[in-house]
């Protein structure tokens, strides 16, 4: 029987282990700590802990302590190792004492069962006994999580050479069971963390690919827009300048251009006529007035442009600008007859910049008008075709720019 002093020591060990379980998140460290307790306080000659490594499909040593300990780095148990199959195969368990395996008990059972048990069982038992003898193991305590064998605590003989009593074995079983729970829980957490990391990485990769794809598509759209400007003799200047002037107007109006807002405005200014790529050249470049039918075709460029931009999910707002840049402030525009604030502000800016340049650009059959003439026209149409606030900001910003460049260079400053 165990002495009362030893009982107190056990409680102390259990308390220390419990505290460590709370403190330590890495089960390997915890298991090593437990082995140290066993070695120091339990008077075992050596002890070792093996845990099952998911994925690697075998048991590995997480540590061993004591004199004559098993060389941990050299040993691993495959699933068919006699000490593993002992606990994973039920035919042996019913012949052992309790859930653990004792070398002394096994030897006794071997002697008793030699004549009565089938030779296959005797052979298995002899193999197991042989392994225990080689590794100098007196007790093997299994750890289960649910029904899976997750670990084995290997205990050498007592330093005193006496047999382990029921209390001591019970204590080994408690800590082994607790270890199994800690190991499994940590494994689950680690697995969950890893899966989460993998998922995050996949999402990042997908997002990077998506952005790359969108960027490529945007570049294609940009060059398409350049094509439109190149083939449309009524359009004027370079798209980079359109972008600059629209931005200047938005700034003059004190619009919020933080974050994506600036990109949205810029893309709207650059791409607003991209749908003209789908308009036949004979209509697009017709020198005289368009017939009613031709005009109806020309008007479709806004919806065509919006359709072209559909795959750009990041540019939903840009699509709206492209679709709305021929809407009039008083609701008389196309394609939907939107009015006032219903029209995106960027589209109202595009409308003013677009009209200004239609007036000042030199066309194949007429010379461009002066900026002053264009300003007057914009002001005359403010409140009808154009948003008055946009006209005011545009004229103000443009005039200032022209003054900065000098009166003599007004004509150069205006067309873009
Ligand atoms: Fe247009």
Q: How confident is the model at residue 135 (pLDDT cuts 50, 70, 90)?
A: confident
| Angle, helix 345-360 to helix 261-271, in steps of 10 degrees | 40
Residues of the chain above pLDDT 90, percent: 28
Q: Tens of pLDDT along 275-284? A: 988 889 888 8
pLDDT score at 230? 66
Q: Residue range 113-119: average pLDDT?
A: 80
Position 117 pLDDT exceeds 90:
no
CA 272 to ligand 1 center in whole angstroms: 6
Choice between 111 and 389, residue whose per-residue pLDDT is larger: 389
CA 234 to ligand 1 center in whole angstroms: 11
**How many CA within 13 A on the CB side of residue 318?**
29
CA 413 to ligand 1 center in whole angstroms: 23
Position 365 pLDDT exceeds 60:
no
Cα–Cα distance for residue pair 314/303, rounded to 1 Å: 18
Single pTM value for the model: 0.54
Q: Which of 1-5, 78-82, 251-255 has the largest mean confidence?
A: 251-255
CA 215 to ligand 1 center in whole angstroms: 23
Q: How confident is the model at residue 171 (pLDDT cuts 50, 70, 90)?
A: confident
pLDDT score at 209? 87
Q: Report CA-CA distances (Å) from 257 to 13, 103, 253, 396.
A: 66, 79, 11, 19
Position 259 pLDDT exceeds 90:
no
The CB-based long-range contact list for 324-327 (8 Å cut-off, 24+ gap) reads: 325/268, 325/272, 325/273, 325/350, 325/351, 325/354, 326/299, 326/302, 326/351, 327/351
Q: Residue range 70-94: average pLDDT?
A: 73
State the residue for tokens 């007196």: 138
pLDDT score at 156? 92
Residue 19 Ramachandran class (φ > 0 left, ψ -120 to 50 alpha, else beta): alpha
CA 214 to ligand 1 center in whole angstroms: 23
pLDDT score at 4? 43
CA 268 to ligand 1 center in whole angstroms: 11
CA 299 to ligand 1 center in whole angstroms: 8
Q: What angle do CA 146, 149, 152 make, to 5 degrees?
A: 130
Q: Which of 125-139, 160-174, 240-254, 326-340 has the largest mean confidence?
A: 326-340
Q: How confident is the model at residue 1 (pLDDT cuts 50, 70, 90)?
A: very low
- The pair of structure tokens assigned to 80 is 């068919």
Q: Which of 142-146, 168-172, 198-202, 312-316 has the largest mean confidence?
A: 198-202
Q: Residue range 365-376: average pLDDT?
A: 83
pLDDT score at 112? 84
Choice between 397 and 179, residue whose per-residue pLDDT is larger: 397
Position 54 pLDDT exceeds 90:
no
CA 258 to ligand 1 center in whole angstroms: 26
Mean pLDDT of the chain: 81
pLDDT score at 52? 82
CA 244 to ligand 1 center in whole angstroms: 18
Position 381 pLDDT exceeds 90:
yes
Choice between 112 and 3, residue whose per-residue pLDDT is larger: 112
Cα–Cα distance for residue pair 397/410, rounded to 1 Å: 13
CA 302 to ligand 1 center in whole angstroms: 6
CA 9 to ligand 1 center in whole angstroms: 89
Q: Which of 55-59, 121-125, 270-274, 300-304 has the largest mean confidence?
A: 300-304
**How many CA within 13 A on the CB side of residue 232?**
26
CA 322 to ligand 1 center in whole angstroms: 8
CA 212 to ligand 1 center in whole angstroms: 28
CA 301 to ligand 1 center in whole angstroms: 7
Q: Are 106 and 133 in contact (CB under 8 A)?
A: no
CA 354 to ligand 1 center in whole angstroms: 8
Please report the domains of the chain, with CATH numbers, ordered by start residue: 4-188 (3.30.450.40), 220-413 (1.10.3210.10)
């Amino acid at each position: 029987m165990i002495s009362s002093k030893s009982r107190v020591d056990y409680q102390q060990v259990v308390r220390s282990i419990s505290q460590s379980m709370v403190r330590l998140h890495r089960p390997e460290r915890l298991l090593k700590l437990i082995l140290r307790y066993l070695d120091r306080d339990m008077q075992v000659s050596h002890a070792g802990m093996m845990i099952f490594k998911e994925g690697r499909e075998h048991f590995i040593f997480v540590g061993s302590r004591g004199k004559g300990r098993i060389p941990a780095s050299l040993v691993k148990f495959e699933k068919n190792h006699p000490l593993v199959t002992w606990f994973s195969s039920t035919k042996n368990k019913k012949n052992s004492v309790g859930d653990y395996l004792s070398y002394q008990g096994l030897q006794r059972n071997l002697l008793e069962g030699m004549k009565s048990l089938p030779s296959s069982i005797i052979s298995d038992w002899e193999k197991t006994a042989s392994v225990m003898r080689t590794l100098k193991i007196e007790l093997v305590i299994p750890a289960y999580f649910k029904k899976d064998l997750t670990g084995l605590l290997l205990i050498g003989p007592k330093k005193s050479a006496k047999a382990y009593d029921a209390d001591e074995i019970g204590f080994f079983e408690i800590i082994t069971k607790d270890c199994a729970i800690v190991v499994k829980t940590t494994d689950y957490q680690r697995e969950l963390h890893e899966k989460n990391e993998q998922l995050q990485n996949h999402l990042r990769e997908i997002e990077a690919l998506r952005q790359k794809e969108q960027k490529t598509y945007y570049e294609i759209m940009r060059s398409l827009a350049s094509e439109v400007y190149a083939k449309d003799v009524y359009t004027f200047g370079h798209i980079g300048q359109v972008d600059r002037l629209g931005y200047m107007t938005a700034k003059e109006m004190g619009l919020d251009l933080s974050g994506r807002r600036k990109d949205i405005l810029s893309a709207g200014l650059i791409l607003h006529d991209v749908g003209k790529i789908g308009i036949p050249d004979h209509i697009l470049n017709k020198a005289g007035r368009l017939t009613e039918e031709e005009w109806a075709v020309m008007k479709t460029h806004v919806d065509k442009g919006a359709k072209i931009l559909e795959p750009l999910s990041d540019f939903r707002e840009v699509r709206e600008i492209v679709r709305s840049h021929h809407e009039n402030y008083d609701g008389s525009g196309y394609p939907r007859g939107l009015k006032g604030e219903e029209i995106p502000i960027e589209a109202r800016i595009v409308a003013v910049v677009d009209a200004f340049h239609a007036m000042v650009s030199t066309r194949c059959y007429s010379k461009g008008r002066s900026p002053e003439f264009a300003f007057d026209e914009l002001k005359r149409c403010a409140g009808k075709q154009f948003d008055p606030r946009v006209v005011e900001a545009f004229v103000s910003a443009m005039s200032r720019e022209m003054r900065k460049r000098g009166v003599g260079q007004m004509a150069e400053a205006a067309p873009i």
